Amino acid sequence: MDLSQKRKRISHELTNSQPSRREAAPSCSTNGQAGGFVEGSILRITMRNFLTYDHSEVFPGPKLNMIVGANGTGKSSIVCAICLGLAGKTAVLGRGDKVGLYVKRGCSKGSVEIELYRASGNLIITREIQVENNQSTWMLNKKHSSQRAVEEAVKELHIQVGNLCQFLPQEKVGEFAKMSKIELLEATEKSVGPPEMYEFHCELKTFRSKERDLEVIRELQMRMIYTAEEKYTVKKSNYSSNVVSSNSALRPSQFLTMTIDADERSQLEEQLRAAERQVQSIDQRMAAIREQQAKLDRRDNELRANKKKLSELKGKKRQLEQKISTKQDSLRQMEQNEINLQAIEEETNAKIAAVNNKKVAIMEEYLGHMQMKARLSMDKVYLALQSAGLSAEKTKLETDCRDSSSELKRAEVVYTKLDQAKNNLLATCKTLMRRASEICNMTPGETAVPEELHRAFSQLPDTLDEVDAMLNEEKTRAECFTGLSDAVVEEYNRREREIQNMEKELDDKTNALRTYRQNIAEAKERWLNPLKRLVEQISERFSEFFRSMQCAGEVDLLSENEEYDKYGIRIQVKFRSSTELHELTPHHQSGGERSVSTMLYLMALQELNRCPFRVVDEINQGMDPVNERRVFDIVVRTACGVNTSQYFFITPKLLQNLKYAEQMTILCVHNGPYMLPPNKWSEKTFIRCATRRQIS
């Protein structure tokens, strides 16, 4: 390119919109034009102590940027600077896993500064990397910030350094062909699709996942199905997910279908009551026997107590006999002493007679008093009886009066209750009549009974006795269930509650499933039709590029029913007319063929660009010269078009006599001990020296 065609590019910070002239770094020569940058394009890359660079600045152009240089000069270092400077992960580069490894050896820290174009003011992102702790310090427009804020700012400009369709470093070139169809679809959506396309796709996958869960829940709810004669059980295998059903016969019904004879039942109940009376009689006899036994036990205890007392009396008798013997001995001894017992006895009798006379006199006086007291008591009793009779008569009269009043009040209460009952019955009858009219679909006031009700009533008995007999039979049939255990009734109630809860849950899940299916239909319409059009555009450009190389290729969208997480993009190519189209895989095509296919797919995306720039590092390695020249022509023609974004193409070599475009920027990377720092580089001096050499 003619050096006189070089133009300076405009660079300004967010806080300063005044343009400033910048000269190219001594390790690079530039050729481009001012303007033409899209939102988010790279205006400047500054590296300090980063990989192979001490200090260098790169000023890319708005269209195709060819970064050329020998191996080891630092071409891929620029790619690394773009990735790490825009908050990319080290895993994207496929080199060192620690950010400190990207600092130049022997230095404690390094930095990358990238200036991005924005219509509202350029965005300058600065990242300083510390080797010691592998930590980074971030700045936005020379102000300290966080990595999260940088990531958000980069995302707003639609920059995706983790997307292989936008950023393809040297170590990841081979992985493009290894991408699954699903991964390729997602990468394409993020790279060239509308911003909402990938969001709709994620919503569809989420909705479909929840729909599958709800469908499984519905299947699990229907584990048992009953018919009139059989029970069907449905099971789902945990391993193969196959559904297996089995059926078994139900036992015939025993309670609600059997007929009961009321007379026979009455006889059985009478026999049961007679048996119960016999049991009660036996129980009474047993109680009497037990009571008699208790009496005998008490009598036995009394006899044992009397026996014990007799034994004690015998012992006392022996003691008394011993005392009497002793007294007799004493008496005989006293008789020997000649005591006058007769005189003593006469004296004693005289004393006793005197005492008895006094007792008789006292007794006669006492009897007189008692007779008087008895007469007084009789009078008192007679008066008390008269008073009691009068009191009883008075009490009876009062009781009769109270009873009459109570009966009168009770009659009034009964009359009031009867009146209320009458009113309630009238209200109930009116309500029942109204409900009956509603159930029978009769208009209010209509008295004619519908024909179907006539037919229903005609099947019932004609007389009241027959109706009562039918009711008694139904009641008797219902009473047959009284023999069921409480556990069975509780189990029935529990199952009924479970069924009600399951029916409610099933209704809720069915409504939710219906909602998700409606959301799926709406999201599918918003996502699938634009996606099909996008894939058709990519396939059209991809096929056109392959036809220009006298080969064939196409891109199509693969779908699997409604499984949106299995949608994918398939690339099919053929490089010889004698073969058929084959899917691009890591094994079927050669390395050069995979590189050509990858490059042409990325170029097919270039005219559909939504991202501000693309980076492809040394993808032409392994191409034969014919394919490399064809691919280069396609890259130049496409990347320098009117509606394309910035493009970085890194290569260690270029073929001779290639066709270049005016919109290209060639960045030649040099390396060596005599390179000048950027602040000492002078373009005029370089041109003057080059002209002097040509003259000499």
Confidence band for 161, pLDDT divided at 50, 70 and 90: confident
Stronger pLDDT, 439 or 73, i.e. the higher one: 73
- Cα torsion at 295, 298, 299, 302 (round to 10°)? -160
**Which residue shows structure tokens 């990989």?**
51
Stronger pLDDT, 49 or 4, i.e. the higher one: 49
Residue among 609, 623, 633, 639 at smallest CA distance from 548: 633
Residue among 1, 14, 9, 85 at smallest CA distance from 43: 9
With a cut of 80, say whether residue 336 has pLDDT above it.
Answer: no
Residue among 117, 142, 118 at smallest CA distance from 128: 142
Stronger pLDDT, 377 or 689, i.e. the higher one: 689
Confidence band for 7, pLDDT divided at 50, 70 and 90: very low
- 248, 230 Cβ separation under 8 angstroms: yes
State residue 243's pLDDT score.
Answer: 62
Residue 113 token pair: 């500064």
**Which residue shows structure tokens 């009117």?**
642
With a cut of 70, say whether residue 260 has pLDDT above it.
Answer: no
State residue 98's pLDDT score.
Answer: 87
Q: Name the H helices within 177-261.
A: 181-192, 195-221
Confidence band for 232, pLDDT divided at 50, 70 and 90: low
With a cut of 70, say whether residue 381 has pLDDT above it.
Answer: no
With a cut of 80, say whether residue 405 has pLDDT above it.
Answer: no
Count of C-beta atoms within a 10 Å radius of residue 517:
15
Residue 54 token pair: 């001490």
Residue 351 token pair: 């004393």
State residue 1's pLDDT score.
Answer: 36
How far is residue 655's CA from residue 624's CA, in Å, rounded to a whole number? Answer: 11
Across the range 352-373, mean pLDDT stands at 67
Confidence band for 126, pLDDT divided at 50, 70 and 90: very high
Residue 140 token pair: 């936005």
State residue 31's pLDDT score.
Answer: 35
Residue 481's contacts (CB-CB under 8 Å, 6 or more residues apart) are 255
How far is residue 384's CA from residue 214's CA, in Å, rounded to a whole number? Answer: 96
Across the range 544-553, mean pLDDT stands at 85
How far is residue 472's CA from residue 311's CA, in Å, rounded to a whole number? Answer: 75
Lowest-pLDDT choice from 46-55, 135-144, 386-395, 531-540: 386-395
Lowest-pLDDT choice from 76-90, 289-303, 636-650: 289-303
Residue among 601, 536, 678, 496 at smallest CA distance from 164: 601
Lowest-pLDDT choice from 77-86, 295-304, 334-343, 591-600: 334-343
Which residues does residue 166 pair with via DSSP β-bridges, in sequence order? none
With a cut of 50, say whether residue 18 has pLDDT above it.
Answer: no
**Which residue shows structure tokens 């199905």?**
225
H/E element, 343: helix 341-439
- 105, 183 Cβ separation under 8 angstroms: no
State residue 22's pLDDT score.
Answer: 41
Count of C-beta atoms within a 10 Å radius of residue 471:
10
- 16, 676 Cβ separation under 8 angstroms: no
Confidence band for 371, pLDDT divided at 50, 70 and 90: low
**Which residue shows structure tokens 């396609």?**
634
Confidence band for 296, pLDDT divided at 50, 70 and 90: confident
Across the range 361-371, mean pLDDT stands at 66
With a cut of 70, say whether residue 242 has pLDDT above it.
Answer: no
Tens-digit pLDDT profile for residues 417-467: 777 877 788 788 778 777 777 777 677 666 676 777 777 777 777 787 787
β pairing state of 665-668 and 64-68: parallel
Q: What percent of the chain has pLDDT over 90?
A: 9
pTM above 0.85, yes or no: no
Phi, psi of 27 (to 5 degrees): -90, 0
Residue among 86, 105, 72, 261 at smallest CA distance from 158: 86
Average pLDDT, the chain: 76
Helix, strand, coil fractions of the chain, as percent rounded to 5: 55, 15, 30
State residue 359's pLDDT score.
Answer: 65
- 39, 612 Cβ separation under 8 angstroms: yes
The b/e string for 160-173 (b: 16+ C-beta within 10 A; e otherwise) is bbebbbbbbbbebb
- 581, 552 Cβ separation under 8 angstroms: yes
With a cut of 50, say whether residue 23 has pLDDT above it.
Answer: no
State residue 25's pLDDT score.
Answer: 34
How far is residue 632's CA from residue 647's CA, in Å, rounded to a whole number? Answer: 13
Confidence band for 226, pLDDT divided at 50, 70 and 90: low
How far is residue 379's CA from residue 382's CA, in Å, rounded to a whole number? Answer: 5
Confidence band for 603, pLDDT divided at 50, 70 and 90: confident
State residue 343's pLDDT score.
Answer: 67
How far is residue 27's CA from residue 676's CA, in Å, rounded to a whole number? Answer: 8
H/E element, 148: helix 147-156
Residue 601 token pair: 């797919």
Tens-digit pLDDT profile for residues 276-289: 787 777 778 778 77
**Which residue shows structure tokens 């869960």?**
213
Stronger pLDDT, 221 or 615, i.e. the higher one: 615
Which residues does residue 557 pair with via DSSP β-bridges, in sequence order? 569
- 58, 30 Cβ separation under 8 angstroms: no
Across the range 100-121, mean pLDDT stands at 91
Residue 259 token pair: 């007929």
Residue 88 token pair: 């990319």
Across the range 605-628, mean pLDDT stands at 78
